[in-house]
Amino acid sequence: MSLSLSSPALDALRRQVRSIETADQTRREVLPFGVPQIDQRLPGGGLAHGALHEVAGGADDALHGASAAAFAAGILARAEGPVLWCRRYADLFAPSLAQVGLAPDRVIFADAGDEAGVLAAMEEGLRHPGLAGVVGEVAKLSMTASRRLQLAAEKSGQLAVAIRRWKRVADAADLGQPTAAMTRWRVSTLPSPLLPVPGVGPQRWFLELLRCRAGDAFDIELEACDAKGHLHLPAPLVDRSVGEIAGQGRAAA
C-alpha cells in the first residue's frame, strides 16, 4: 500500500518518528549555551553530548573558517578536559582560541596529510572518553563518514565538531548535503557596533541553526564568544522576547 505525502497516516508516522527523536535527545546530557533564546529552541536545552555537530563559516569565512573555529572553541571552552583538534592545514592561530576561553594547554593538535587522515584521527579520538571533545576541519563529509563519527561520539559521550572548510566559496554548497550530524550551524561575521568614543566595538555574529534533529532551524544575532566561551545578546536585544530575537523558525533540513 502506498501513501501520499499529505495522507493522515503518513503525517501520524512523521509525528511518531519525531517523538522518538525528541525522547532520545532529551535523555542526552547537554551543554547549554547560557543564552535562553538559543537553549529554549534546542531539544534538551543545549548542545547534545555524545553527538556530532557541524559548523561552517558564512560568505568568505567558508574558506578560512575563522568564525566557525572560534564558535567551536567557545563551545569546548565550557566543557571539561583536553580537546583534540584535527586539522589538514596548520594555519590555526592558537592565541585566538585563548581569546574565546580555550587555553592552549588544553588543546592537542593532530595534523593530518589529507581529509581521510583528519576523519580517522577524529574517530580515534572519539573512542577516548577522557577528552572534552574532538574537532576536525574537513570540506567533504559523507553520510558514511558522519555516521561513523556520530556512532563513536555516542559510545564515548563526547562532543564531536566538524568544521567545514572549502577551497572555493562555490564548494560551500556541499553544506546542504545530508549527514548524520545532530546539528548544523553557520556563523557569519557582522559589523561591530559604532561606539560613542574611538575604538572597536565587540565582534558580532549572525548565527544560523540550519538543521537540528528533532528541532527547528532558526537564526539570531549575537556578540561573539567572550574570554570564557560565552555568547551574549547585543545590548539592544536583551529585553526582547525569544520570538522577536530569533525570528520565525524555518523547517529543519
Residue 10 lies in a domain: no
Residue 21 lies in a domain: no
Residue 15 lies in a domain: no
Residue 153 lies in a domain: yes
pLDDT in tens, 64-73: 899 999 999 9
| Contact of 208 with 229, CB cutoff 8 Å | no
Domain count, the chain: 1
Residue 225 lies in a domain: yes
Residue 69 lies in a domain: yes
The pLDDT of residue 223 is 95
Find the domain containing 222 and state its range.
26-246
The pLDDT of residue 250 is 45
Residue 185 lies in a domain: yes
Q: Which three cell numbers stand for residue 15?
A: 509525528
Residue 33 lies in a domain: yes
Query: Does the pLDDT value for residue 192 go beyond 90?
Result: no
CA distance 154 to 123: 11
| Contact of 220 with 177, CB cutoff 8 Å | no
pLDDT band at 11 (very low <50, low <70, confident <90, very high): low
Other beta carbons within 10 angstroms of residue 236's beta carbon come to 9
Which range among 32-46, 92-106, 195-209 shows the weakest confidence by mean pLDDT? 195-209
Average pLDDT for 29-58: 96
Q: Which three cell numbers stand for residue 211?
A: 538543521
Residue matched to cell numbers 535562553:
36
Q: What is the CATH number of the domain that holds 71?
A: 3.40.50.300
The pLDDT of residue 218 is 97
DSSP 8-state code for residue 194: P
Residues in Cβ contact with 17 at an 8 Å cutoff, skipping those fewer than 6 apart: none
